[in-house]
Amino acid sequence: MNREDENVARAVRREIPAIARAVDAIVLRMNSGGRLIYVGAGTSGRLGILDASECPPTFGVSPNLVRGVIAGGRKAITKSIEGAEDRSADGARDLRKLHLTKQDAVAGIAASGTTPYVLGALAYARRRGALTIGLTADRRSPLAKAAHIAIAPEVGPEILAGSTRLKAGTSQKMVLNMLSTAVMVRLGHAYDNLMIDLGEANEKLRERAQWILMEASGKDASAVTRAMRQTGHDLRLALILLKRGVSAVQARRLLKQSGGNLRKALNE
């Protein structure tokens, strides 16, 4: 299995130009108020939901910005719903519930590229004028042909024949990581390689937030703690306060004047 997994990164590397095109197109739409919506069935659907669910705590964005939709609904996240992936009309129906617009981007995920649920969703997305992305292991598949942008890491036969949760699933996870992370960085939800919009939902994340500010500002723990307290635990404001030596009120004004552009607010 390990020897076979070595092929996955190479297959994904060959798709970097397509991934880059997808990132550019998603960012363009998000800047106009759009969303990124993953659609899949089984393992593919669960991977989309996983990636979407990690965006709010990692990048401090709304849960509505990146969404995951799976054939069979919420129950299918933890339990196989037989036959759910075979109903193409359900894919369109589930996207219709999200009030899809032409500013949205829909990424259909299916290793085979033939899943009716995903194809139905992409067909509906195209009719609505949304951007469509097909993530599949077969570039000759209906999904790759139906999408505006096809991302097709061809990883070869699985060591357990037909079990696409293995190499195909790994390649999907890698591509989704790249899509969401690159999009969020392009939208300004990172400072260098630091998660500047990190949510502080638990003690581990609170400690990580403090480390991020110490790393970004070069200040010690006591200075960072004071800055966090003064800014209501807003990492962006705290970093401006620390690096520019201003008050919390001034930091908020600088960030507002920059239109939320942290680099500009820091005069960098």
Task: Give the C-alpha distances (Å, rounded to integers) separating 42 from 82, 86, 214.
Answer: 10, 11, 42
Q: What is the C-alpha to C-alpha distance for residues 96 and 156, in angstroms, rounded to an integer? A: 35
Comparing CA positions, the residue from 99, 139, 115 lying closest to residue 40 is 115
4 an active-site residue?
no
**Burial group, residue 201, by CB count within 10 angstroms (0-12, 13-18, 19+):** exposed
Comparing CA positions, the residue from 121, 215, 107, 191 lying closest to residue 152 is 107
Residue type at 177?
Answer: N
30 and 183 Cβ atoms separated by less than 8 Å: yes
Task: List the catalytic residue out of 4, 6, 15, 54.
Answer: 54
**Burial group, residue 66, by CB count within 10 angstroms (0-12, 13-18, 19+):** buried
149 and 132 Cβ atoms separated by less than 8 Å: yes
Q: What is the C-alpha to C-alpha distance for residues 81 and 83, in angstroms, rounded to an integer? A: 6
Q: What is the C-alpha to C-alpha distance for residues 80 and 71, in angstroms, rounded to an integer? A: 10
203 an active-site residue?
no
84 and 76 Cβ atoms separated by less than 8 Å: yes
Task: List the catalytic residue out of 4, 15, 82, 85.
Answer: 85
Residues marked as catalytic: 54, 85
